[in-house]
Chain A
Amino acid sequence: DGGITQSPKYLFRKEGQNVTLSCEQNLNHDAMYWYRQDPGQGLRLIYYSQIVNDFQKGDIAEGYSVSREKKESFPLTVTSAQKNPTAFYLCASSPGRGYTDTQYFGPGTRLTVL
């Protein structure tokens, strides 16, 4: 089955720790995205990548980092510099960079900082 997988589904972190969220896709899509979802605020873009070894900051990149070493993988690291990291994180991919392209979403990772 083609799709996007995110792991883990639930993640708990102590304050001051970095944590990495996994995102893998086997759709052969060029572009990948990370969003953060908070109650009542919709989705906000953290980072996106339109090609391997290249990525751009989204609207709320502070305290986060990413890498895109392989086409199918786009891990997100939540660093200790992120002031309020507790949220639901969604990864997405799209076939290309076009504005008509549909983004396909993974099931999400819920991060809780203890």
Chain B
Amino acid sequence: GDSVTQMEGPVTLSEEAFLTINCTYTATGYPSLFWYVQYPGEGLQLLLKATKADDKGSNKGFEATYRKETTSFHLEKGSVQVSDSAVYFCALSSTGANSKLTFGKGITLSVRP
């Protein structure tokens, strides 16, 4: 079945540091890939997505590229801010009539001033 694997956390960075959060997936066909962010005590918000191979999703300085050859969708940001502190989830949605999201376990990012 479908699965998403995220790197182990938590991650703590200093403000303006470079961020990479790894995400790899297993799925049949050509899934859509998503990054969601969850701020403390809130629901999830879509951060970015990519729906086909080699697509790059971007938003708020974050980027991720859909790499089919390595089945990966790593999240990057060149300079993190304290306000980026949150939990980040990688997810996929497979093709099919009853498509649904499969989530990774999430990783907590803390950014120090």
Chain B residues within 8 Å of A, Cβ to Cβ = 31-32, 34, 36, 42-46, 49, 51, 89, 93-101, 103-106
CB atoms of A99 and B42 under 8 A apart: no
Q: Which of B43, B49, B106 contacts A42 (CB 8 A)?
A: B106
CB atoms of B43 and A90 under 8 A apart: yes
Closest Cβ of chain B: how far from A51's Cβ, in Å? 11
Chain A residues within 8 Å of B, Cβ to Cβ = 4, 6, 33, 40-45, 48, 50, 56, 58, 90, 92, 97-108
CB nearest neighbor in A for B30: A99
Overall SS of chain B's interface: loop
B residues near A41, Cβ cutoff 8 Å: 105
A residues near B105, Cβ cutoff 8 Å: 40-42
**A48 in contact with B100 given A42-B106, A100-B32 (CB within 8 Å):** yes
